[in-house]
Structure 1
């Protein structure tokens, strides 16, 4: 039996974890022409449950938005601190570099 490593993400999962969904959203937005610097993954803790979770942060003009597969609502990043504790986020300059907390790039 092959076990699945949490650090391996799938694009277009039939079912999966939050990482699969966040990476798929990022992939689709990249394919639609969004610049990678506007799309950052973020590891958070959901305040209500204490669950570790992966979300996608999308920068559109001056606005930063949170896309979360657990919610059908897109919220502004400045409203997200009520729902999440930000553990680390991708750098907007280098997606291989993760910053502690909420990177403001």
Structure 2
């Protein structure tokens, strides 16, 4: 299933010329270290090859119209391919991060699949950060933040458009460190985060 949607990205002239929504107007504020979510810790126990990686220098992916269109394409295809269900419904547990190989999953599973496909497409791991937010209802939610030379973008199963992070309306809590995916950083103080997504 996902092997099919992870390959064969060809861009039409219109897609390649798609304007980039610049996300560099403001940046997330990193306040310090944070604990990794238990879902990530458990995911790493089941998928050690995905987590047993050496620390690397922070990298901003180079954003071009073609690369922006690729982000948009992968975000939309994974959103379409995966049916949203809770971990309780699917696995009978409160929290389980995994690849959505059954075609079903919750927000973290969408994020993991998008991250995997983007890395397979040549995007640097250090620029693809799993990020914990509070959504518009105030509920815990996960998105993929893509750090680029044009700013940070959000890939979200609740929205098909790739948006600058501050256009989501979310409150940003914490995300993976660019240096090491097994280390996490706090965005704000976790109670009143500095990374509240409001337009500048």
TM-score range, shorter chain: 0.7 to 0.9
1:83-102 to structure 2, matched below 5 A, reads: 83-101=169-187
Do structure 1's residue 75 and structure 2's residue 163 form an aligned pair?
Answer: yes
Unaligned 5+ runs, structure 1: none
Residues 13-60 of structure 1: CA distance to partner in whole angstroms, max 9, x if unpaired? 5111000001100000011111101100100001x3111100001123
3-state SS of 1:19 partner: helix
Structure with larger Rg: 2
> CA separation in 2, counterparts of 1:69 and 1:85?
16
Give the strand-richer structure, 1 or 2. 1
RMSD: 2.0
Which structure 1 residue ranges, 4+ long, deviate > 6 Å from structure 2?
Answer: none
- Matched with 2:10 is none
**TM-score, length basis structure 2:** 0.45
Considering fraction of residues, name the structure with more helix.
2
Number of residue equivalences: 99
> Does structure 2 conserve the Cα–Cα contact (< 8 Å) formed by 1:13 and 1:20?
no
SS in 1 for 2:146: strand
Q: Contact 1:11–1:27 (CA<8 Å) still a contact in 2?
A: no
**Which consecutive unaligned segments of at least 5 residues does structure 2 have?**
1-90, 189-200
Greater RCO (Cα-Cα under 8 Å, separation 6 or more): 2
TM-score (norm 1): 0.82
Asked whether the equivalents of residues 41 and 57 of structure 1 are also in contact (C-alpha less than 8 Å), the reply is: yes
